């Protein structure tokens, strides 16, 4: 019998076996097959037997769980290529400096927060990657993408300190970004924030769950770039280090099958299974590693379990009866956490003391040796073996489930304790104990004073640190922004039909699709455009693009589509340009973010256009959009079928009355609600030039309608006003009218405003209509002038754009939109003194009915607008 397999197979045997002798014969046969013909032949036989079992309806299928032990056996581990002692000294130094940074900040201020325990658990996982696997960008290698567990940011700062990228003064200003410059230091952001530290952090991961889904779509986008021959990403990896508690976020799990389906073997996740969330165990009454193994294996991932450190190898080898495996199988995570929090004596009595077999295994071990038994995620040799296996694996994404202790090394101050996530204070003895635990070269006074430690520049540790990062291309994380500037074609070459529409009926969605099709034909900009949809291309009239540029598929098209004879038939191709993401707005926005940050991540400017039902944008994936803003995304979000009344018949969940309200909260998002194709053309042109010519870190949110109506020519000379947020659209009624009113409208409701103006003109009222293309840009313009006046009183208040437009009009002002009234209310401060300002909107929930009925219901139809104006005149 093959000795290494014997205890495992005995453990897996059914204890209620009715014929143990026959079972033994089957077991011997399998082991003989493995010994004589190897594991591959054994797998073939087992697969065949599984097929037979299913055909015979036995109700059995193989378990997705493997025993609670390392996937990579001792004899399969590669030779460790580094200096283990030096790496352990370096990680100990980084642990200390990370701890000192957080504790110092909270001793000084007591309110800054920060985390120690998360990095304590993940430090070895980070450092093994830094020393051996994480490539930085060079001329020869475009660099790996690394998503860092956000609560462990202090550890990344601690490494940057040793590398000379951060100073001691910087470390002393952790979470003090506003006050740090006064001391000549750089404040360090709480979590990875590219907006706040634009040369340092590459990916924002602080909103848990967004890092995992983003990493998947970044890995897929790298394949997209390679297949479209825009950039060869074949040698690059995406590494993500995430928490086990984070896996409960829906976004963490939502794209696992996509990663497997696309065979993203350029993707490696390391899930730090320290078993604890903020308040308690991730799975107190079961095992999170078992649960995640089933989940990832079932989704089609390669799963590597990194459970036990090297100190357990001897115990497992001596465990001929399977006692250890049975004990592991019967120990839930809540109890495992208790073992982590207790000392060697407790673990001898309560773990190894469960039965005589376990007790015999612990014989000869001191309590300190038992206390020092490492979990796999703290053993650099085991971690390297897992990483090397993951990096070499082909055909599947890989997840490494790394078993760690939260607060590792914090002893009685926090290791494995329920409160450890929030532990930010250490007494003097705790600091001394921590220093001793990791054998740090600090005096008692230095330890108690939380002195930062940096070895001499010519020390073995510092030479080792530099040499390994030099071999891998330099320091990480590092954000770069150098990329080529893309020329944008003249507006008339792709949008003349919109500028001079001559009364033709079309929707703004139709106008957008036509302009996009024309832009895709441009030889320079066209290949860099990334059209993105979430299973709605036909809804938006984009089916003609299927033929023109194709839908991206990593395997091409292996079938004849049902509509193959149609001019607009569905076409997939490996060099397809459209990213059709299925029914997943979370996936589509992650895909958009990957394209919108390509200028930084890949040094290659791309321009994504993601079109979707506007209700399924900011309200549904707003957190992901905010993360994209943090990452300084550049691209277009197009909220189609926007407004609460334009999508007739659909009702509550599909009708958007608030997206512009949310968009206005994002500082680098420019939001527009154009009513006409000409306005849209000007906005798209300006956005493209701002993002790919001027390379500004902004993105545009533009709402579109599916309602067809006559499109007027864009008045000459109003382009700048369109971009500032509004322009003078038209004047109605007698020029010498005694009663005058000003009407403001945007998007779908501007046509109702124009009809209302005509109704009022017929009653002898003079009306001026302003087309408001962006309420939020007008509001920002007004607030900017207020801030200037506050900062420089001598400069005066100035006149904002809307105030300037309104100063040339008379009478009460009525503003109507297809959104909640809070949208037009945001510009009230710009209304000239003495003028009445009345807002009309679609507050409340949506309804299902015709457009006319909906607008009448919400009182934003022409008749209601006219009546509101007359009431204001009579007041």
Q: Any idea what DSSP says for residue 192?
A: -
Q: Is the pLDDT of residue 596 over 60?
A: yes
DSSP string, 530-541: EEEESS-TTTTT
Percent of the chain with pLDDT over 70: 96
User: What Cα–Cα distance (Å) separates residue 586 from each residue in 170, 298, 301, 455, 590?
Assistant: 36, 21, 21, 45, 6
Q: Which helix (H) or strand (E) holds 389?
A: helix 380-392
Q: Looking at residue 632, what is its pLDDT? A: 98
Give per-residue pLDDT as tens, 486-506: 999 999 999 999 999 999 999
Query: Is the Cβ–Cβ distance between 855 and 646 less than 8 Å?
Result: no
Q: Looking at residue 11, what is its pLDDT? A: 46
Q: Looking at residue 794, what is its pLDDT? A: 63
Question: Rounded mean pLDDT of 340-348?
Answer: 93
For β-strands 267-273 and 302-306, DSSP reports them as unpaired
Q: Which helix (H) or strand (E) holds 582?
A: none
Facing residues of 672 across strands? 702
Report the SS3 class of residue 766: strand
Backbone angles phi, psi at 20, to 5 degrees: -55, -35
Task: Look at residues 398, 424, 120 and name the one whose alpha carbon lies nearest to residue 265.
Answer: 398
- In angstroms, the CA 649 to CA 653 distance is 11
- This prediction has a pTM of 0.94
Q: Looking at residue 292, what is its pLDDT? A: 98
Q: Is the pLDDT of residue 12 over 50?
A: no
Q: Is the pLDDT of residue 58 over 50?
A: yes
Give per-residue pLDDT as tens, 94-140: 999 999 999 998 887 878 888 888 999 999 999 999 999 999 999 99
Q: Looking at residue 15, what is its pLDDT? A: 53
Q: Looking at residue 293, what is its pLDDT? A: 98
Q: Is the pLDDT of residue 8 over 90?
A: no
C-alpha neighbours within 13 Å on the C-beta side of residue 152: 27
pLDDT, greater one: 105 or 871: 871
Question: Rounded mean pLDDT of 440-449?
Answer: 95
Q: Looking at residue 795, what is its pLDDT? A: 57
Length of the chain, in residues = 875
The two tokens of residue 803 are 């105030």
Banded pLDDT at 589 (limits 50, 70, 90): very high
Give per-residue pLDDT as tens, 685-717: 999 999 999 999 999 999 999 999 999 999 999
Q: Looking at residue 61, what is its pLDDT? A: 82
User: What Cα–Cα distance (Å) separates residue 730 from each residue in 144, 230, 719, 840?
Assistant: 55, 47, 15, 20
Q: Looking at residue 797, what is its pLDDT? A: 59
Backbone angles phi, psi at 107, to 5 degrees: -65, -35
Q: Looking at residue 110, what is its pLDDT? A: 77
Give per-residue pLDDT as tens, 26-54: 999 999 999 999 999 999 999 899 899 99
Give per-residue pLDDT as tens, 723-778: 999 999 999 999 999 999 999 999 999 999 999 999 999 999 999 999 999 999 99
Q: Looking at residue 410, what is its pLDDT? A: 84
User: What Cα–Cα distance (Å) separates residue 222 from each residue in 128, 196, 249, 262?
Assistant: 24, 26, 25, 12
Banded pLDDT at 13 (limits 50, 70, 90): very low
Residues whose CB is less than 8 angstroms from the CB of residue 761 and which lie 6 or more positions away in sequence, other chains included: 732, 733, 734, 767
- The least confident of 61-65, 154-158, 290-294, 335-339 is 61-65
Question: Rounded mean pLDDT of 307-323?
Answer: 94
How many CB atoms are closer than 10 A to CB 518? 16
Give per-residue pLDDT as tens, 187-238: 999 999 999 999 999 999 999 999 999 999 999 999 999 999 999 999 999 9
Q: Looking at residue 787, what is its pLDDT? A: 76
Banded pLDDT at 14 (limits 50, 70, 90): very low
Facing residues of 578 across strands? 551
Query: Is the Cβ–Cβ distance between 2 and 75 less than 8 Å?
Result: no
Q: Is the sign of the CA dihedral 827, 831, 834, 836 positive or negative?
A: negative
Give per-residue pLDDT as tens, 398-432: 999 999 999 898 877 777 777 766 666 788 998 99
Query: Is the Cβ–Cβ distance between 42 and 33 less than 8 Å?
Result: yes
Q: Is the pLDDT of residue 286 over 50?
A: yes
C-alpha neighbours within 13 Å on the C-beta side of residue 117: 29
Which span out of 99-108, 318-327, 467-476, 560-569 was modeled with the highest average pLDDT? 467-476
Q: Looking at residue 17, what is its pLDDT? A: 84
C-alpha neighbours within 13 Å on the C-beta side of residue 340: 32
Q: Is the pLDDT of residue 678 over 80?
A: yes
Q: Looking at residue 799, what is its pLDDT? A: 83
Q: Looking at residue 75, what is its pLDDT? A: 93
Query: Is the Cβ–Cβ distance between 771 and 745 less than 8 Å?
Result: yes
C-alpha neighbours within 13 Å on the C-beta side of residue 499: 17
Give per-residue pLDDT as tens, 643-674: 999 988 888 889 999 999 999 999 999 999 99
Q: Looking at residue 422, what is its pLDDT? A: 66
Q: Looking at residue 444, what is its pLDDT? A: 96
For β-strands 709-710 and 505-506, DSSP reports them as antiparallel
What does pLDDT average to over the chain?
94
Q: Is the pLDDT of residue 9 over 50?
A: no
Helices (H), 247-342: 250-253, 256-261, 288-299, 311-318, 323-329, 333-341
Report the SS3 class of residue 100: helix
Give per-residue pLDDT as tens, 150-180: 999 999 999 999 999 999 999 999 999 999 9
Backbone angles phi, psi at 686, to 5 degrees: -65, -40
How many CB atoms are closer than 10 A to CB 206? 18
User: What Cα–Cα distance (Å) separates residue 192 from each residue in 114, 222, 244, 475?
Assistant: 13, 22, 19, 16
- In angstroms, the CA 844 to CA 797 distance is 36
Q: Looking at residue 315, what is its pLDDT? A: 95
Q: Looking at residue 837, what is its pLDDT? A: 98
Give per-residue pLDDT as tens, 791-827: 777 655 568 999 999 999 999 999 999 999 999 999 9
Percent of the chain with pLDDT over 90: 86
- The least confident of 269-273, 304-308, 527-531, 792-796 is 792-796
């Amino acid at each position: 019998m093959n000795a290494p397999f014997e205890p495992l197979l005995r453990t897996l045997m059914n204890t209620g076996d009715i014929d143990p002798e026959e079972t033994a014969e089957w077991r011997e046969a399998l082991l003989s097959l493995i010994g004589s013909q190897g594991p591959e032949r054994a797998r073939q036989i087992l697969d065949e037997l599984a097929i037979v079992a299913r055909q015979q309806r036995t109700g059995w299928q193989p378990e997705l769980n493997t025993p609670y032990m390392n996937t990579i056996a001792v004899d399969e581990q590669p030779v460790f290529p580094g200096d283990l002692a030096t790496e352990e000294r370096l990680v100990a130094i980084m642990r200390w400096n990370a701890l000192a940074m957080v504790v110092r900040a909270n001793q000084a201020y007591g309110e800054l927060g920060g985390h120690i325990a998360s990095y304590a658990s993940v430090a070895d996982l980070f450092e093994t990657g830094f020393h051996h696997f994480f490539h930085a960008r060079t001329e020869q290698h475009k660099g790996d993408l690394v998503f860092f567990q956000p609560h462990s940011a202090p550890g990344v700062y601690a490494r940057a300190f040793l590398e000379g990228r951060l100073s001691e003064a910087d470390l002393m200003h952790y979470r003090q970004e506003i006050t740090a410059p006064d001391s000549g230091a750089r404040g360090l952001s709480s979590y990875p924030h590219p907006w706040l530290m634009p040369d340092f952090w590459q990916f924002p991961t602080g909103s848990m769950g967004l890092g995992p889904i983003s990493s998947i779509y970044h890995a897929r986008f790298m394949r997209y770039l390679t297949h479209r021959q825009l950039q060869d990403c074949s040698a690059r990896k995406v590494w993500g280090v995430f928490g086990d508690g984070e896996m409960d976020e829906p976004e963490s799990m939502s794209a696992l099958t996509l990663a497997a389906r696309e065979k993203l073997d350029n993707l490696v996740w390391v899930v730090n299974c320290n078993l604890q969330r903020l308040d308690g165990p991730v799975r107190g009454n079961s095992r999170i590693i078992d649960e995640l193994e089933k989940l990832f294996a079932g989704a089609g991932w390669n799963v590597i379990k990194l459970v036990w450190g090297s100190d357990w190898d001897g115990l497992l080898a001596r465990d001929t009866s399977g006692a250890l495996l049975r004990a592991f199988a019967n120990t839930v995570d809540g109890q495992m956490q208790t073992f982590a929090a207790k000392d060697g004596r407790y673990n001898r009595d309560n773990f190894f003391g469960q039965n005589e077999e376990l007790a015999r295994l612990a014989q000869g071990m001191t309590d300190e040796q038992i206390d020092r038994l490492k979990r796999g995620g703290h053993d650099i040799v085991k971690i390297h073996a897992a990483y090397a296996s993951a990096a070499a694996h082909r055909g599947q994404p890989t997840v490494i489930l790394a078993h760690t202790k939260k607060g590792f090394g914090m002893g009685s101050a926090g290791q494995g304790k329920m409160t450890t996530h929030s532990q930010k204070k250490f007494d003097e003895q705790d600091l001394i104990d921590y220093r001793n635990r990791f054998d740090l070269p600090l005096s008692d006074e230095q330890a108690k004073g939380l002195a930062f430690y940096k070895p001499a520049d010519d020390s073995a540790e510092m030479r080792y640190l530099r040499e390994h990062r030099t071999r891998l291309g330099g320091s990480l994380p590092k954000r770069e922004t150098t990329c080529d500037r893309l020329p944008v074609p003249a507006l008339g070459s792709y949008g003349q039909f919109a500028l001079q529409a001559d009364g033709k009926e079309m929707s703004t969605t139709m106008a957008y699709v036509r302009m996009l099709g024309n832009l895709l034909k441009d030889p320079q900009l066209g290949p860099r455009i990334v059209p993105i949809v979430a299973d709605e291309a036909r809804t938006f009239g984009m089916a003609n693009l299927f033929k023109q540029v194709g839908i991206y598929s990593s395997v091409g098209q292996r079938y004849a589509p049902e509509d193959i004879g149609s001019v607009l038939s569905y076409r997939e191709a490996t060099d397809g340009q459209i990213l059709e993401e299925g029914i997943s707005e979370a996936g589509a926005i992650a895909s958009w973010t990957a394209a919108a940050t390509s200028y930084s991540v890949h040094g290659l400017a791309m321009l994504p256009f993601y079109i979707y039902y506007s209700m399924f944008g900011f309200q549904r994936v707003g957190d992901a959009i905010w993360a994209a803003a943090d990452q300084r995304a550049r691209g277009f979000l197009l909220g189609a079928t926007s407004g609460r009344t334009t999508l007739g018949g659909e009702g509550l969940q599909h009708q958007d009355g608030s997206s512009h309200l949310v968009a206005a909260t994002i500082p680098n998002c420019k939001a527009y609600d154009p009513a006409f194709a000409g306005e849209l053309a000007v906005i798209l042109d300006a956005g493209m030039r701002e993002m790919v010519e001027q390379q500004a870190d902004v993105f545009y949110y533009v709402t579109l309608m599916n309602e067809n109506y006559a499109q007027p020519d864009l008045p000459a000379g109003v382009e700048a006003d369109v971009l500032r947020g509004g322009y003078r659209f038209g004047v109605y009624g007698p020029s010498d009218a005694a009663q005058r009113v000003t009407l403001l409208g945007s998007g779908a409701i501007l046509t109702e405003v124009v009809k209302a103006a005509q109704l009022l003109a017929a009653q002898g009222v003079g009306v001026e209509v302003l087309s408001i293309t962006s309420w939020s840009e007008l509001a920002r313009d007004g607030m900017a002038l207020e801030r200037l006046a506050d900062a420089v009183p001598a400069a005066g208040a100035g006149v904002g754009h809307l105030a300037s437009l309104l100063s040339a009009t008379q009478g009460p002002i009525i503003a109507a939109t297809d959104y909640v009234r809070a949208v037009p209310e945001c510009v009230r401060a710009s209304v000239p003194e003495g003028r009445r300002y009345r807002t009309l909107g679609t507050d409340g929930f949506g309804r299902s009915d015709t457009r006319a009925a909906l607008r009448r219901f919400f009182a934003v139809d022409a008749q209601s607008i006219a009546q509101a104006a007359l009431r204001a005149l009579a007041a």
